[in-house]
Amino acid sequence: MENTASNTILLVDDETVNLMFLTNILSPEYTVYIAQDGQSAIRKAEEVSPDIILLDIIMPGMNGYEVLSVLRDKHETRDIPVIFITGLNSSKDEEKGLESDAVDYISKPFSVGIVKLRVRNQIRIINQMREINRLSVTDLLTGISNRRGFEHQMRREWGRAIREKLPISILMIDVDHFKVFNDTYGHQQGDAVLQEVAIAISRCVTRTTDFAARWGGEEFIVMLPNTEIKGALIVAENIRENIEQIPVYLPDGTTAQVTVSIGVGTTTPEPGDMNEKLISEADKALYTAKESGRNNVCH
Ligand code: GH3
Ligand code: MG
Ligand code: MG
């Protein structure tokens, strides 16, 4: 059986007996929250962001349709799937429920088996979507973020830096003479080095908002929000030293060394500024680092 204990469900029903019944059948497999009216359902949904909401339609005060409509208007709850679970059981009612953007519709009196299976189906879809999203931003070889994941994060932090008038730094990191390394030791050995380089970079990037990614090929990128040039150069130098010290064990028993060149760019962006400009600045600095002999940091 899949492990779904970390999946969360919010049950909303005005009748205690229904809540107890649903809790009994769902809590062995999922983490369950409850709410007994529309207002508290919306508050709870914002607070715990459940994976799915089972929503009664007929309730005093706000009815289920109204709750769903409010949930869809709020940024935090907009995407949470809702299953209506209701005593309204004509096919007209079911059609109306599905039309109002519910992912499924369960009529009362409900059978335990059907509730469990309908919920299981939706939870499966949610978990698969999450996995697809995770993979779409992960680099397969190194397991760190890929360029797409980086660009997403960069847009967020760039917006924040503009709003809060804070500096942001970028490090462009490129493995030196890596073509020769591949030609000499083979592509597989090259791949193993890229994995080690990714680990070393991740170790040096410690603040929670710092973000490292594989930019492509043998190039990596690091974003350091709220970091001036001085701090960025320290992180870059630390990365350079750590990578230089990676022992690359070769099949013949000897060890080789890899080095990287790093270009650093820093700016305090203003409204209208594009983050691509900062990245290209770091890229130019990287070029200078290569020109001036490699295994060094330039800005
Ligand atoms: P420089 O010091 O100027 O950066 O020289 P370089 O040889 O590292 O640069 P160049 O751009 O000429 O070559 C990059 C090499 O990186 C070529 C390619 O074989 C290797 N490379 C890129 N991606 C991968 C990968 O995923 N795995 C392996 N093993 N090698 C890769
Ligand atoms: Mg290179
Ligand atoms: Mg390169």
Residue carrying structure tokens 């698969």: 128
Distance 178 CA to ligand 1 centre (A): 4
- The pair of three-digit structure tokens given for residue 98, joined into one six-digit string: 């599905």
Distance 299 CA to ligand 3 centre (A): 18
pLDDT tens, residue by residue, 16-42: 999 999 999 999 999 999 999 999 999
CA distances (Å), origin 271, targets 151, 159, 161: 18, 9, 10
CA distances (Å), origin 126, targets 64, 82, 262: 22, 12, 40
* pLDDT given for residue 134 in this prediction: 94
Q: Which residue has the higher pLDDT, 223 or 90?
A: 223
What's this model's pTM, rounded to 2 decimal places?
A: 0.82
Active-site hit among 29, 94, 157, 218: 218
Q: Does pLDDT of 217 surpass 60?
A: yes
Ligand 1 test: best mutation among 183, 185, 218, 219, most atoms within 8 Å of CB? 218
pLDDT tens, residue by residue, 63-95: 999 999 999 999 999 999 999 998 888 888 888
Residue whose CA is at the smallest distance from ligand 1 atom 20: 179
Distance 173 CA to ligand 2 centre (A): 9
Q: Is the CB of 296 under 6 A from ligand 1?
A: no
User: Helix %, strand %, coil % for the chain, to 5?
Assistant: 50, 20, 30
Query: Around ion ligand 2, which residues have CB less than 5 A away?
Result: 174-175, 178, 218
Q: Does pLDDT of 1 surpass 70?
A: no
- The pair of three-digit structure tokens given for residue 18, joined into one six-digit string: 């229904």
| Burial call 143-174: b when 16+ CB within 10 Å, e when fewer | ebbbbebbbebbeebbeebbeeeebbbbbbbb
Q: Is the CB of 187 under 6 A from ligand 1?
A: yes
Q: Does pLDDT of 182 surpass 70?
A: yes
What is the pairing mode between strands 52-55 and 219-225? unpaired
The mean per-residue pLDDT over the stretch 150-164 comes to 97
Q: Is the CB of 178 under 6 A from ligand 1?
A: yes
